């Protein structure tokens, strides 16, 4: 019996459009007439349902090609498929069918960044070239925003990975071998640091501040005073600074023109100031106080307060009881920190 060998499946790869070809997809500016996208083309697209002898391929940029394949049922032209181009001539046919036409360099056919567009009073005076330029810049702006969003997503993911490495994986591995410091090639070293810090929630501030005052740590608390002034009330500010809290009305002297003369006129304005007073303890100051207390073996026993969610609502447990938490939360952890010889170290939050 002779075994039949199965041929390896042929790897499909997209056919490339001719060099310096622009996207033929209609741009977002198309209304009463067809206006092409105009971005550098990197793919060829055709309909899946069109008979092979009648297929016409259209050159598109990456964004338009992706949209057409995902949402319009169109298909990428592969290297081993036969087709005809809609707007390019026979002179480039052989080059395209061989699949060796390189994609245009990004930005080759786009308008220069920062180019000033002419001011036009009548929309009828707008030329196709100007519309293509505006559409290209608009698409470039959209793609730049998308790229920034992707980069920020990668940055957030890398920051999360760094936090896991610095606070969990590296400290655990170094403690397992009994080392507090590792020297790497080039003079860089990774050291373990014991971090002690604390936090106070907004809902727990009154109880936490009362506890700090009872422990003689009242000077840690900072107080801010805020006053809101409306539009045109700048003259009132001077009086407020002189006698805040006592002002019920102010007299403002203004220069008023009467005919050709300028006279000073007094105007009495009633005011109702509602100053807001807010107390807070800066996290570094609170952390230093906690570390000093621990160094003296002094107890840290803040009162318990109701836990609140992000919307300020009480938190309940599975039995329907309100959850209580310390007014001051103390954190103790060991983190790994990279110290480079050039001092170009990354400051990680909480490290």
- Note whether 79 and 42 are same-domain residues: yes
- Note whether 284 and 270 are same-domain residues: no
Query: Model confidence over 89-146: pLDDT tens digits?
Result: 333 333 333 344 433 333 333 333 333 333 434 444 556 566 667 777 787 888 888 8
Are 322 and 308 in contact by the 8 Å Cβ rule? The answer is: no
- Note whether 34 and 54 are same-domain residues: yes
- Note whether 185 and 142 are same-domain residues: no
- Note whether 85 and 21 are same-domain residues: yes
- Confidence (pLDDT) at 151: 93
- Note whether 82 and 189 are same-domain residues: no
173 within domain boundaries: no
Q: 56 falls in which pLDDT band (50, 70, 90)?
A: confident
- Note whether 92 and 232 are same-domain residues: no
The model scores a pTM over 0.75: no
Query: Model confidence over 23-47: pLDDT tens digits?
Result: 888 776 666 667 778 788 888 887 7
pLDDT at 88 over 90: no
Query: Model confidence over 172-224: pLDDT tens digits?
Result: 999 999 999 999 888 899 999 989 999 998 889 999 999 999 999 998 998 88
Give the DSSP per-residue string, 81-150. ---EESSS-GGGHHHHHTT--PPPPTTTTSPPTTPPPPP-S-GGG--HHHHHHHHHHHHHHHHHHHHHHH
Specify the higher pLDDT residue, 239 or 1.
239
- Confidence (pLDDT) at 228: 73
Query: Model confidence over 332-345: pLDDT tens digits?
Result: 888 888 888 887 77
């Amino acid at each position: 019996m002779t075994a039949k060998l199965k041929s390896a499946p042929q790897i499909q790869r997209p056919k490339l459009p001719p060099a310096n070809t622009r996207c033929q997809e209609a741009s977002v500016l198309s209304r009463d007439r067809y206006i092409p996208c105009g971005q550098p083309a990197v793919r060829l697209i055709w309909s899946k349902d069109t008979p092979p002898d009648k297929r016409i391929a259209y050159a598109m940029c990456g964004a338009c090609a992706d949209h057409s394949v995902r949402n319009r049922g169109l298909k990428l032209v592969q290297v081993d498929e036969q087709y005809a181009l809609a707007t390019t001539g026979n002179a480039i046919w052989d080059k395209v069918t061989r699949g060796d036409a390189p994609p245009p360099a990004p930005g080759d056919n786009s308008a220069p960044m920062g180019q000033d567009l002419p001011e036009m009073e009548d929309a009828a005076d707008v030329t196709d070239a100007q519309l293509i330029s505006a559409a290209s810049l608009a698409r470039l702006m959209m793609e730049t925003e998308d790229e920034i969003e992707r980069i920020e997503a990668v940055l957030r993911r890398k920051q999360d990975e760094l936090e896991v490495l610095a606070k969990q994986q590296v400290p655990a591995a170094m403690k397992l071998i009994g080392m507090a410091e590792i020297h790497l090639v080039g003079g860089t070293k990774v050291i373990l640091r014991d971090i002690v810090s604390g936090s106070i929630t907004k809902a727990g501030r009154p109880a936490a501040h009362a506890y700090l005052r009872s422990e003689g740590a009242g000077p840690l608390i900072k107080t801010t005073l805020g006053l809101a002034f409306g539009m045109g009330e700048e003259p009132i500010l001077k009086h407020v600074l002189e006698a805040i809290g006592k002002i019920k009305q102010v007299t403002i002297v203004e220069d008023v023109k009467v005919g050709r003369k300028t006279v000073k006129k007094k105007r009495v304005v009633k005011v109702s100031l509602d100053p807001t007073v807010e107390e807070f303890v800066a996290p570094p100051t609170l952390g230093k106080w906690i570390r000093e207390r621990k160094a003296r073996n002094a107890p840290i026993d803040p009162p318990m307060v109701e836990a609140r969610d992000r919307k300020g609502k009480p938190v309940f447990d599975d039995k329907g009881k309100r959850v209580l938490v310390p007014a001051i939360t103390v954190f103790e952890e060991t983190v790994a920190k990279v110290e480079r010889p050039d001092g170009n170290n990354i400051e990680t939050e909480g490290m």
